[in-house]
Structure 1
């Protein structure tokens, strides 16, 4: 099943994961609107897609403002005549601990990731509903939004918020035949390249070598291309029944994340008073509390960075 005749927008697709998504969609037959904030970067991305026989045009603008969302959708319609797939990938990082995070650090990340996803999806859906031919909304999440991560208050809030919006959109858009899903990629990127734990895998990828099996299988950590296949699948007619899901992918692993459910339910006639909780918490509730942060297996010795 191909994407021939389909038209896609991929935000933040000038390089990295976003470029891999755009290239895979084009390789499968879709025409693609590439987006980034740097004109040379978007031009290079379009040229790479065209050199491989694909169709692509560029929109150079920051994601977040409604004006950018309108430009992206209008470009898809004007250049290719329709819009079928939207992938919201654009993002920035401003990592620091809570007590050092400035208003600008917080607002910048929320504006690009969360508001940018909202404005772009809203504009795309306005067109898709009017066209009456369904559509595919694919929003990029993160393990940080699922479990939290030290130093990423802003990023965690944005990515968790995206998941909440996607679940809501899956309900609201069902009658229009528009699916909405979140993809949680785990891959070698500019961000993971700075983490010593991933150094051996990132170096292997940079050298054009296969990643060690520990990273691909045990950790579910891979390349951009390992994620791109899921993006294309969710954009296709084969995924018409898949909506409201959070799907993790990396290396050799694919995961469907659970939606939050109560881990324990207990009742007490008259309600849970302070005294009742003091007495009952250690025996009734403490065993059901949930962990936070990502949990990684111990790094095998052969992949540990050399001591400096």
Structure 2
């Protein structure tokens, strides 16, 4: 199945993962609205798509405000006459530990990721429901939103919030034939390039060499193009029955994340008092508590960063 005749908006698509999504959608036949806060990045992304035979237009504006959401949808309709898919990828980072995080650090990240996802999806869905032809909502999450990461209170909150919204939208939009899913990418980007654990993989890609199998297979860590195929699939008619899912992808690995379920359920007549919990916790509940943070296997010696 191709995406011929479909129209997609991809926020934050001037470079990196967002650009890979836009290029893959165009390669599959979709017309694309490219978005970035950098006018040069927007123009260059549009040019690369057109140079490959695709069709694209650009909108240079920050994601978050309702005005930007309206401009994105209006541009899709003015340029291509319809809107079939939205990929909410735009994001920023302001990493620091909780006790050093400023209000601006928190608000900036939540505004772009969480509010930006909300405003653009709301505007897209208003049109899709009125058009009556269904649609595809694809929101970009993160392992941080699933497991937590040290120093990313703001980012974790935003990405976890996106997953919660997507589950709700899958329920609300089902009757209209609009699917909503979250993609959790793991890929070599400007962000992961600064992490020593991934240095060997990032260096291999930069040198045009195959990424080592340890990263691609064991870690599920690959290139931006490894993620783009899933985004295009979810935008297609082939994924018409896939909704409300959180799907991780990277390298050679694809994962469907579980939805939260109770790990243990126990009952006590009269309820769980303080004294009852003190007595029962070590034997009844302690073994069911859940881990936090991402868990990586030990990095093989040959991939260890060189020490100065």
TM-score band (shorter)? over 0.9
The 5-angstrom pairing of residues 201-220 of structure 1 reads 201-220=201-220
2:272 is the counterpart of 1:272: yes
The 5-angstrom pairing of residues 112-261 of structure 1 reads 112-261=112-261
The 5-angstrom pairing of residues 18-57 of structure 1 reads 18-57=18-57
Q: Distance in 2 between matches of 1:122 and 1:298?
A: 43
Q: Deviations over 1:139-191 (max 9, x none)?
A: 00000000000000000000000000000000000000000000000000111
Counterpart of 1:173 in 2: which secondary structure? helix
Q: Distance in 2 between matches of 1:161 and 1:57?
A: 30
Match of 1:14 in 2: 14
How far apart are 1:10 and its partner, in Å? 0.1
Q: Deviations over 1:212-231 (max 9, x none)?
A: 00000000000000000000
Q: Distance in 1 between matches of 2:156 and 2:110?
A: 10
How far apart are 1:81 and its partner, in Å? 0.3
Q: Deviations over 1:80-117 (max 9, x none)?
A: 00000000000000000000000000000000000000
Match of 1:306 in 2: 306
How far apart are 1:209 and its partner, in Å? 1.0
Q: Distance in 2 between matches of 1:168 and 1:113?
A: 17
Q: Distance in 1 between matches of 2:25 and 2:41?
A: 18
Q: Deviations over 1:208-254 (max 9, x none)?
A: 11100000000000000000000000000000000000000000000
Counterpart of 2:17 in 1: which secondary structure? helix
Q: Distance in 1 between matches of 2:266 and 2:285?
A: 9
Q: Distance in 2 between matches of 1:280 and 1:103?
A: 40
Q: Distance in 1 between matches of 2:210 and 2:2?
A: 28
Q: Distance in 2 between matches of 1:59 and 1:250?
A: 28
Match of 1:97 in 2: 97
Q: Distance in 2 between matches of 1:183 and 1:12?
A: 15
Gap regions ≥5 residues in structure 1: none
Q: Distance in 2 between matches of 1:207 and 1:85?
A: 34
Q: Deviations over 1:274-301 (max 9, x none)?
A: 0000000000000000000000000000
Q: Distance in 1 between matches of 2:307 and 2:39?
A: 41
Counterpart of 1:20 in 2: which secondary structure? helix
Counterpart of 2:43 in 1: which secondary structure? helix
Q: Distance in 1 between matches of 2:291 and 2:249?
A: 21
Aligned positions, number: 308
Q: Distance in 2 between matches of 1:88 and 1:209?
A: 30
Counterpart of 1:184 in 2: which secondary structure? strand
Q: Distance in 1 between matches of 2:277 and 2:109?
A: 38
Aligned CA RMSD, in angstroms, stands at: 0.3
The structure 1 segments of at least 4 consecutive aligned residues displaced by more than 2 Å after TM superposition are none
Q: Distance in 2 between matches of 1:96 and 1:43?
A: 32
Q: Distance in 1 between matches of 2:151 and 2:80?
A: 42
How far apart are 1:40 and its partner, in Å? 0.6
Match of 1:109 in 2: 109
Q: Distance in 1 between matches of 2:290 and 2:20?
A: 35
How far apart are 1:207 and its partner, in Å? 1.1
